[in-house]
Structure 1
């Protein structure tokens, strides 16, 4: 039950949320206290150009309701306010990035969403992703070999947590190993942009233009009749093939799709986030070692307890209300999915990591309904393979010192995480 918030309490919540979205380091270090107070006192709250929603039931209902709440969130007040504050070259850069984002599967409503999803669904099916297992295991062992070769001292877990999912995607796209480091820099810049409404505008713009140029070359080389590689049995070639109705994806749609795959924050942080959580709950780490059959459920609990994805956006399509709170056409909704995953009305004792939690799989880290993330099975595979290989090599792995979280509010993960296997 919501406790009626006084004016002073609402002002405090608005001030704290504003600081959080402005990337205040103190707020970024602990968003959970803010989330708990929002759920208890202001589960729907207008903060600047966005309406923040923090409860599980409200967020799941919004995911279901594609008539009142549009996935074309680039049309919402968050974007229009940002555009109004820019001019000249900055506005041109921002508009290019928003146009680039607009071709993403997750930023479209039916019928465009349905068309795009048909092309992508087969490539990301459970069966297709499971076929990548041996390749992911090979990459994990190679990365861990590289860590071991540097000696027995503490190491930055990002060498596995970031690179394993990233390298798997690069293999899917047939990006040569020699180009991986270039893509790493571009991906980090673009991901920070996606996680902050392009707070790093110029850097993100340059990164996306570099990705676009590279992917355009890849597309041209895989087109039928190309003098280069030509089509093959790989993800790019399969996506270039025409659908049953004879139509295909445009170059802009393909480029955006590949950019999203390369910059997804969900899998790239989760091995590090899981290690941090297991370090805080050593009895759960012991239980996972003793009962490896709990791994699949443990992964769901990691997505619930320590997700990378903290917020997603929707645009209000018609004047309506959320739990009695009136929202207006064109307003941006910021759905705090990480808060929903810690809602005590849905998950008993939510602040405790419990790898045996029976309902862990009901988290909303991948969305819900027709917009459920197609990359979810790839993320699960990456985390399972990475954690299994990591703890096999380093059963006594511990966090080795203080760490800071990246300056983003949509994706959460440590800048660097030093760990020790001894």
Structure 2
């Protein structure tokens, strides 16, 4: 990394970091949500404070909404785009810095699907979508089950474990690695790189965190170059081989897609499984209901997605002047933060929204996977992985309990645990043998 990268961090992260902390000290709710450790641990009290300010609230940082109906409107309205800087006029000095300090393809910059709009978004998404059709997900189900069982077999009976490192992270990394044709021995590399890259989804990162993320992206980029060359020589049956063979995406687009799936998409599932474990251990009456009514497991996963969203927010910007939402005229390029976590607890849609209820009739109406053209491609896969993982874990270890305080990741956008220490208890089959 050169000196211009420090200038790039200063412009894109350092100055916003300074401003956010200053606004937070002055009581700006949205700035507090993005910076204060207590809010990163438990954002929901501040989200409710934001809700009290109206359907569309103005803050020092941006406009924000926690309203379910308004969130759906904004996410599905083609007058709004993503936060891609290239779509708007940016100051010449900043554009010069970006050119002087390029970074490899990654999940949060074009050509990543996460931050581009039609028609380019449609061109990028179309060839990838075939890997996430219901038929394609059904073909993966047996593999998810076998991976889950292998991981549970490896956990010690009557022992301790960190269920993030030893279980929740291992299920999705195994599946996504196979989908991208990566060898099994690369999983630890991607777990490390993904962990270091995902803070880029936030704003106001400190220099060491941003620098570490860019270094990880560089390492992944060099690995991906070698991997793509290998797939061209020896294509496999995986999704990335199919994309390479189709020739619809260039190397930069292929690498951006792979990094998006390995980064943001993978982390979502890790957070979902981890959040689900904690919710069920914290609500033993709900776990007991699942044991009595196992057909509720898929709905329980929807309720975890609703009440403790692994993706807390997203952002949109008007792409034309004069866009009016809820009586407010927004200028072109004005940021609107959509609190997915807030929409998921909107009392106008979800009765008693702070209550965890695995039988909630409309749990699946949550917005955790967004909606509209940017709805998460891997939503069905994440649901299926989490359902198998949670059902099998609690079936195998019926006496599972926390063995210490779970440690949250200090991130605003992605909400999950870094560590989840548990005492596993005896395996169900050993209990049966003894009795």
Give the TM-score band, short-chain normalised.
0.7 to 0.9
Structure 1 CA distance for aligned equivalents of residues 102 and 31 of structure 2: 22
Deviation at 1:398, TM superposition (A): 2.0
In the alignment, is residue 235 of structure 1 matched against residue 244 of structure 2? no
Worse overlay, 263-272 or 37-46: 37-46
Structure 1: unaligned runs, 5 residues or longer: 1-9
In 2, Cα distance between the equivalents of 1:300 and 1:13?
37
Aligned equivalent of 1:206, options 189, 210, 215? 215
Separation in 1 of the partners of 2:273 and 2:138? 19
Deviations 1:361-416 (A, max 9, x none): 11111111222111111101210121122112112222222233111100001121
Query: Deviation at 1:303?
Result: 0.9
Per-residue deviation, residues 194-242 of structure 1 (Å, max 9, x unmatched): 244654211111111111111121111222xx2xxx2232111111232
Query: What residue number does 2:278 align with?
Result: 276
Conserved? CA contact 1:196–1:410, under 8 Å: no
Going from structure 1 to structure 2, the CA distance change for 1:43 and 1:12 (only over 3 Å counts) comes to farther
Q: Is 1:300 the counterpart of 2:280 in the alignment? A: no
Q: Is contact 1:301-1:354 (8 Å) kept?
A: yes
Question: Does the 8 Å contact 1:93/1:201 carry over to 2?
Answer: no
Residue number among 162, 165, 179 corresponding to 2:186 in the alignment: 179
CA contact (8 A) 1:93 1:202 kept: no
Q: Residue 155 of structure 2 aligns with which residue?
A: 147
Matched, 1:335 2:338: yes
Query: Is residue 410 of structure 2 the alignment partner of residue 399 of structure 1?
Result: no
Q: How does 1:17-416 map to 2 (within 5 A)?
A: 17-22=30-35, 24-66=36-78, 68-75=79-86, 93=101, 101-148=109-156, 152-158=158-164, 159-196=166-203, 198-199=205-206, 200-223=209-232, 226=233, 230-242=234-246, 248-264=248-264, 265-319=267-321, 320-416=323-419
Shift of residue 166, structure 1, vs aligned partner: 1.4
- CA separation in 2, counterparts of 1:285 and 1:32? 23
In structure 1, what is the Cα distance between the partners aligned to 2:406 and 2:107? 35
- Structure 1 residue 135: Cα displacement: 1.5
Instruction: Classify 1:345/1:11 alpha carbon distance in 2 versus 1 (closer, same or farther; 3 Å).
Output: farther
Name the CA distance, whole Å, in 2 between partners of 1:49 and 1:40.
18
The answer to which of 12-21 and 402-411 deviates more is 12-21
- Contact 1:75–1:315, Cα closer than 8 Å, also in 2: no
The 1-side partners of 2:274 and 2:183 are apart by 26
Cα gap change, 1:332 to 1:267, in 2 (>3 Å): same
1:421 matched residue in structure 2: 424
Distance 2:152 2:174 in 1: 13
| Alpha carbons 1:165, 1:382 under 8 Å: kept | yes
Distance 2:299 2:107 in 1: 38
Query: Post-superposition shift, 1:336?
Result: 0.7
Shift in CA distance, 91/42, structure 1 to aligned 2, threshold 3 Å: farther
The residue aligned with 2:3 is none
Q: How many residues in Structure 1 have an aligned counterpart in Structure 2?
A: 396
Q: What SS does structure 1 have at the residue aligned with 2:28? A: helix
Secondary structure in 1 matching 2:224: helix
RMSD, aligned CA? 2.6
Gapped regions of structure 2 (runs ≥ 5): 1-22, 426-435
Aligned equivalents of 2:369, 2:270: Cα separation in 1: 14
State the SS of the aligned residue for 2:419: coil
Name the SS for the 1:274 alignment partner.
helix
2-structure distance, mates of 1:98, 1:76: 18
TM-score (ref. length: structure 1) = 0.87
